[in-house]
A and B are shown apart, each in its own frame.
Chain A
Amino acid sequence: MKQRNISEFLDKIKENPYKEIVVKAPHCGYVEFVVTQKGVPVSGPEGKYKEKPGTLLAYIVRENNKKPIFALENGAISEIFPLKNKEFVQAGTPLLKIRHYLTKQEVIDLILQKTLYLVKAQEKGKYYFVPEIDKKIGTKGCQSVLLRPGEEILILNVMKREKYISYEGPKGLIYAIYFKQGQTLDCGDILFGVCPQEDLESIKEVIVKVQSEWEEVRIG
């Protein structure tokens, strides 16, 4: 993705820096709204371990089981679907819409998802870079490592069995590493992201721009 494209993508996010989350009925039952007005700020789960539930939005009652429905993100109520209080709803019926203002990290994640080629763990096990790459990362940093398709880059260790993994993506530099060597990873966990050599500077610029300019709006 060229710099212009990345900037355009950021502008597009800036035009509408929100994520609309539709809160649906988890199962059938009688719905009782707690939040009844549009624009009410709500908060998602809090605490280090997200152990404190978010704002109570509604209850859904099935067979005398009054189950609370909590907000899963910070934001404000943008829409309350036209349902009467204590009306019977089917599973999946939309109840409310939360307008969530994207955070700095979420914007960065969106940009990186769009621009990076992500290398994922093929199977459960411990992953290591091959010694040459590891040495290069140690001395010059990951963004100096150029990967070519077919090159052996990783060693997968499962039960003392070692397997070399070749890189199959486009030619590019490692932008960021998302795993710790020697740690057991699950299948599908992201290992690192690769970006084309010519895009590196532009991605960096945009990220810096987001980090310095993006204002976090905390509603609720």
Chain B
Amino acid sequence: MILLDVEKEVQILQERLDYIKDIFAHKENENIVLLQTKLNDFVNSYKQLSLSESKQKLKSLKELFTFLENKLDRRLTPMDKVRIVRHPQRICLKDILENVYDNYTEIGGQDEYSIDPAMLIARAYITRKVGNKIYHQPVMVIGQEKGHGEEFRNGGSVKPWGNAKALQYMKVAERENIPIHTYVFTPGAYPIEDYPGAAQQIARNLYEMAGLKVPIIAVFSEGGSGGAEAIALADTRLMLSHGYYSVISPEGAAAIEGKIKAKGKITPELVEKCAAQLKITADDNLIMGYIDKIIKEPPLGARPEHYDFFKVLRNEVIRATDEVVLRVRGINLFRSLALRKLNSPNIYVRWSLTAKAKARLVEERYAKFRQMSKHAYIDNSSWIDRLKEKSEEALWGIYSLLRYDFFKRNKQKIVHLWEDLKGESLAVIDRLQRKVSFWVCKIPLCKKYNQKTCELVSLSKWQEKEPKNRYISPQARVDRAVSCPNAEKEGCLDQWAPDLFGDMAGVCAYCGHHFPMEHEWYLHHVFDPGSIKEFNAHIEAGNPLDFEGFSHKLEKAKQLSGHKSACLTFEASVKGIEVVVAVLMAKFRGGTVGAAEGEKFIRAVEKANLKHRPFIAYVHGTAGIRIQEGTNGVIQMPRCTMTIRNYLEKGGLYIVVYDTNSYAGPVASFLGCSPYQFAIRSSNLGFAGPGVIRETTGIEIPPNYHKAYNALSRGHIQGVWDRRFMRDNLYQALLTMGERKLYSY
């Protein structure tokens, strides 16, 4: 070792120290001070020492660094881990492609010459030597690329067209029957509505991934909410030990919790507290069951020089792919056993699937997500209720099987048999009837008055009309005038509240602006009177993360709304057509979706599936995923979308109607994936609100950016409805989109 080498080693140690300082940010730490002092001492003294003494001192200094790095690693807080994944030295997807895969070609763009440089796609292969044979196993690698401080990568924040590109190549992988490895390195999606739209594209990705017939393995490093979900619906979800997977950034959560407006300052302590409360670490997510395995990283997180880590990662993704394939394939006994028991078994598993295995794979994926987040909501139903529910389900199952399966298959035979029987009986009855009538008509008193004559000569009967205004809004009970927000532009005059919220159903008589109405108005004016039968009302929203102060807020919401969650599910009919409905109510915590809401939504879709009825999601308003539930909320995005896909694949009809304000996770998943989406006039819908767009992109959006008509122009919805005609429009939609056969066999 020459002097130059010592200087080089010192520089490396200084870089290691700088990295540690970055990770622990503002926090004072005696270990960091010690490292700094020791390094400074060495830097000041090594030139006076002999080379061997320097070498010796450097060795002990390096050992001290390693020892203290290990020590500091054990003390990492969740927020420290957030800083690790955001650090420019953090491994990125390109490092993984270089070190985990044996060869790769970047497709769909290269560096800044890409439709979205934040999304990286590569066709790669892994070479395995088993016995004397060498196998090249192709794989499609998709993931967000943060780069090491490359500005054009946009920090891994993918634009809608980047996610569309990812979906395009996922389908390519499906056609080529090769597995997909996705790597999640994103703080969140880029929240713009330009076509195909952030929310709509994520919803499309989730919907398609739910049914992809190839194994999908996802590896999480930085899993920021919806942006992560766009590529993370997978058969096996692995997570790097220093990564995070969360519903919102800790800073965002702190801003909401602290009720701090855009320009306000958030204290680092509040951010730390929120990061800890959101349970975002790999260990937390493993306990909650949202990831399958943790991949251990080197102390203080993996960086490009940690070659041993890449080896571990390679083994883990290979093993995960093998396991998924063997789970759904025929002969797998010994290989599955070897995979479970041995550390790195030398076995070969072909990754292409047969038709049957593909079907099993999709089924298993659905079952896996269906089982998630069961612990995160409160279900106080008694065993009698559950038994009743199960038996009802079983009876409906049998009925559906007979009516929609057996009858459908043998419909022609049954119809023919019925026609023959009817014809035979008519031949007998008709002859008999004529004989009887002939003799009866002979009796003067019993002479039957011709019904038609009777109708023509008598007065018609009064037909009862449906009672109008069955529901009176509390807004209509106030004696005051109301100004329209468009008054300045459109010249609307003030209107008297009882008129406006009564007869006018909250619609401005001058410009047609729709004032928000309570969800109860729709229950009374859209569905047939007395047809609403609520179910699963006992499922209750909880506080699965024990988020400080949230239980109290939840109780308040329950008292205020009279409901136990933000989702109301019921069976009803619209002009005689029986439907299953889920309503997201804005008055319960802004219509946010947590585990309870997700579960209720899923059960409602399953009911619609079981009873072969159209499913309507009326979104009275939703502010997104409930942040206080953390990943318990985020996971509802893939869960509900998978159920919707399952329902639609079986021939269901799914209609979504947005009202007031609908944003974020739900729109970017189970609502946005509907082929038939409508909005009530004057409603707003999109991925992120104006404040979030300003903060994340720096773009000042126009005030009408999220308005329903703009969403219609962008192709996100299929129509804008007047509230007063929602019943007619819905009926029309049910008839035209569902066709009569959906609900009348």
Contact = CB atoms under 8 A, between A and B. Distances in A.
B700 A64 contact: no
Contacts of A65: 480-483, 494
Nearest to A27: B494
B479 interface: yes
B494 A62 contact: yes
B330 interface: no
Nearest to B690: A51
Contacts of B494: 27, 62-63, 65
B702 A64 contact: no
Interface in B468-510: 478-483, 494, 496
A64 B703 contact: no
B121 to A, nearest CB: 35
A64 to B, nearest CB: 3
A48 interface: yes
Given A62-B494, A63-B494, A65-B494, A49 B702 contact: yes
Interface string A26-52: 010000000000000000000111010
A114 interface: no
Contacts of B496: 63
A49 B479 contact: no
Interface in B505-552: none
Given A48-B700, A49-B700, A51-B703, A64 B483 contact: no
Contacts of A204: none
Contacts of B479: 63-64
A86 interface: no
Nearest to A65: B481
Nearest to B703: A51
Interface string A48-80: 110100000000001111010000000000000
Contacts of A49: 700, 702-703
Interface string B691-703: 0000000001011
B304 to A, nearest CB: 41
A67 B483 CA distance: 8
Nearest to A47: B700
B480 A63 contact: yes
Interface residues of B, number: 11
A27 B154 CA distance: 51
A130 B481 CA distance: 55
A176 to B, nearest CB: 27
Contacts of B482: 65
A204 B494 CA distance: 49
Interface in A57-116: 62-65, 67
A62 B481 contact: yes
Interface in B696-745: 700, 702-703
Nearest to B704: A49
A52 to B, nearest CB: 10
A32 to B, nearest CB: 15
Q: Which of B478, B481, B482, B496 has the most CB of A within 10 A?
A: B481
A179 B3 CA distance: 70
Interface in A120-179: none
Interface string B446-484: 000000000000000000000000000000001111110
Interface in B555-579: none
A67 B702 CA distance: 24
Contacts of B702: 48-49, 51
A29 to B, nearest CB: 10
A64 B494 CA distance: 11
B500 to A, nearest CB: 11
A27 B703 CA distance: 27
B703 to A, nearest CB: 5
Q: Which of A48, A65, A67 has the most CB of B within 10 A?
A: A65
A47 B703 CA distance: 10
Nearest to B496: A63
Nearest to A68: B483
A20 B526 CA distance: 53
Nearest to A62: B481
B513 to A, nearest CB: 16
A188 B589 CA distance: 50
A49 B703 CA distance: 7
Contacts of A47: 700
Contacts of B478: 64
Contact of B481 (A48, A51, A63): A63
Contacts of B480: 63-65
A98 B480 CA distance: 31
A104 B524 CA distance: 58
Nearest to B493: A27
Contacts of A51: 702-703
A112 B612 CA distance: 72
Interface string B366-394: 00000000000000000000000000000
A205 B244 CA distance: 62
A144 B496 CA distance: 60
Contacts of A64: 478-481
A27 B491 CA distance: 13
Contacts of B483: 65, 67
A91 B483 CA distance: 16
A48 to B, nearest CB: 4
A150 B311 CA distance: 83
A48 B482 CA distance: 28
A49 B496 CA distance: 31
Q: Which of A27, A62, A64 has the most CB of B within 10 A?
A: A64
A210 to B, nearest CB: 29
B705 to A, nearest CB: 10
Contacts of A67: 483
Q: Which of B478, B479, B483, B702 has the most CB of A within 10 A?
A: B483
A126 B478 CA distance: 51
Nearest to B479: A64
Nearest to B702: A49
Nearest to B488: A26
Contacts of B700: 47-49
Interface string A185-216: 00000000000000000000000000000000
B686 to A, nearest CB: 16
Nearest to B480: A64
Contacts of B481: 62-65
B493 to A, nearest CB: 9
Nearest to B482: A65
A199 B135 CA distance: 85
B710 to A, nearest CB: 14
A83 B479 CA distance: 27
A69 to B, nearest CB: 12
A49 B699 CA distance: 12
A63 B494 CA distance: 10
A155 B592 CA distance: 56
Nearest to A67: B483
A49 B482 CA distance: 25
A48 B700 CA distance: 7
B694 to A, nearest CB: 10
B272 to A, nearest CB: 32
Nearest to B495: A65
A27 B700 CA distance: 34
B535 to A, nearest CB: 41
Nearest to B478: A64
B697 to A, nearest CB: 13
Nearest to A48: B700
A63 B495 CA distance: 10
A62 B493 CA distance: 12
Interface of A: 27, 47-49, 51, 62-65, 67
The 8 closest A-B pairs by CB, nearest first: A64-B480, A63-B481, A65-B481, A48-B700, A51-B703, A49-B702, A65-B480, A49-B703
20 contacts: A48-B700, A48-B702, A49-B700, A49-B702, A49-B703, A51-B702, A51-B703, A62-B494, A63-B479, A63-B480, A63-B494, A63-B496, A64-B478, A64-B479, A64-B480, A64-B481, A65-B480, A65-B481, A65-B482, A67-B483
Given A63-B481, A64-B480, A65-B481, 6 more contacts: A49-B700, A49-B702, A63-B480, A63-B494, A63-B496, A67-B483
